[in-house]
Structure 1
Amino acid sequence: MATSLKNLSDTNVKGIKDVSGFKFGIVVAEWNEEVTEALYSGAFETLLQLGATRENIERMNVPGSFELTLGAQWMAKREDIDAVITLGCVIQGETRHFDFICQACAQGITDVGLKYDKPVVFGVLTPDTQKQAMDRAGGKHGNKGDEAAATAVKMLSVKPV
């Protein structure tokens, strides 16, 4: 379904496990801080609403979205971290830099999850404009941070024992 037709925060979380004992790492890009801070707030609050405890949510800041991959790897390799959420925003510019950063970020985050066999969630916005980013970071399309947190919880709930 197109994002224009769906509020990202309307995520079905039926059937999730009790997550109070799980530890979550959230890696946040500092670039486009207005957007990423809003994404972080959404993810953090959603984790609390779904049963996570404050002491089991750990944040790591990295300079930009390109660095999310290494930050996610540092978090994922820790045995005490059960799921990692990455939050960033890369806004389309006039050069191909956008394409390189987005591709590397998406592939790198996927690779980290597969390498460590734990949920590593891609919560990176790739909009054309700042307005589109804000619409997805608490605006008219909800908050992608909410969706990323719900995804981490859902993945822990379906993970085979």
Structure 2
Amino acid sequence: MSSADKNLSVFNTADLPDIATKRFAILVAEWNSEVTEKLFEGAYQTLVQYGAKPENIERGNVPGSFELTLGSQWFAQREDIDAVIALGVVIQGETKHNDYINHSVSQGITNLSLKTNKPVIFGVLTPNTMQQAVDRAGGIHGNKGDEAAITAIKMLGLYSQITKGSVKRG
């Protein structure tokens, strides 16, 4: 089934870990704020819905998606932050700027996760049009912010299983 035909924010929530004591940072790009605010709302509400305490969720704003990597690094370096969620939107446009920005941010966030040994989640939309962005920020295709929050929760759960030696077998 193509993405044009379904809600992309359907995910398995069985066996989610207890996140009541976990601390999250959500970093939000201000560029395309009509979309990024909806991504933030989705991520925040999903974290709270699955057990995060509102006082354990911090928000930071950066000017655009390119700055998500450094902002995420500042949060990830803090001992009291367990996971970082980076939210932004880079729309295709007439030039290739989106290719450079999307590649830089995705590579930077991957490297940051590895460097800090913490989940730093890539919640950046990379649509061709503004309508595609809207459709993925609480529209007909769900909310990428929800997905980013669930990903952070699941990664914390996996880390806990690995460090406790309780990874499922078979």
- Whether these two folds match at TM > 0.5 is yes
Whichever residue aligns with residue 97 of structure 1, its letter is H
- In the TM superposition, what whole-angstrom CA distance separates every residue of 1:29-63 from its partner, at most 9, and x where no partner exists? 00000000000000000000010000000000000
- In the TM superposition, what whole-angstrom CA distance separates every residue of 1:117-147 from its partner, at most 9, and x where no partner exists? 0100000000000000000000000000000
Give the secondary structure class of the aligned counterpart of 1:101.
helix
Offset of residue 11 of structure 1: 1.4
User: Which structure 2 residue ranges, 5 or more long, are not aligned?
Assistant: 164-170
Q: What aligned pairs does 1:8-87 form with structure 2 within 5 A after superposition? A: 8-87=8-87
Identity across matched positions, percent: 63
Task: Tell me the distance in 2 between the aligned counterparts of 1:20 and 1:47.
Answer: 10
Task: Quote the residue 1:90 is aligned against.
Answer: 90
Whichever residue aligns with residue 12 of structure 2, its letter is N
Whichever residue aligns with residue 26 of structure 2, its letter is I
User: Which structure 1 residue ranges, 5 or more long, are not aligned?
Assistant: none
Q: Highest CA radius of gyration, 1 or 2?
A: 2
Offset of residue 6 of structure 1: 3.5
Task: Quote the residue 1:128 is aligned against.
Answer: 128
Asked if 1:107 is matched to 2:112, the reply is no
Give the paired residue count: 161
Give the secondary structure class of the aligned counterpart of 2:127.
coil
Offset of residue 2 of structure 1: 4.2
Give the secondary structure class of the aligned counterpart of 1:25.
strand
Moved more, 135-144 or 6-15: 6-15
- How large is the RMSD of aligned CA atoms in angstroms? 1.0
Question: Is the CA contact (8 Å cut-off) linking 1:8 and 1:146 kept in structure 2?
Answer: no
After superposition, the Cα gap between the structure-2 partners of 1:6 and 1:154, relative to the gap in structure 1 and judged at 3 Å, is farther
Offset of residue 13 of structure 1: 1.5
* TM-score normalised to structure 1 length: 0.97
Offset of residue 9 of structure 1: 2.2
Offset of residue 3 of structure 1: 2.8
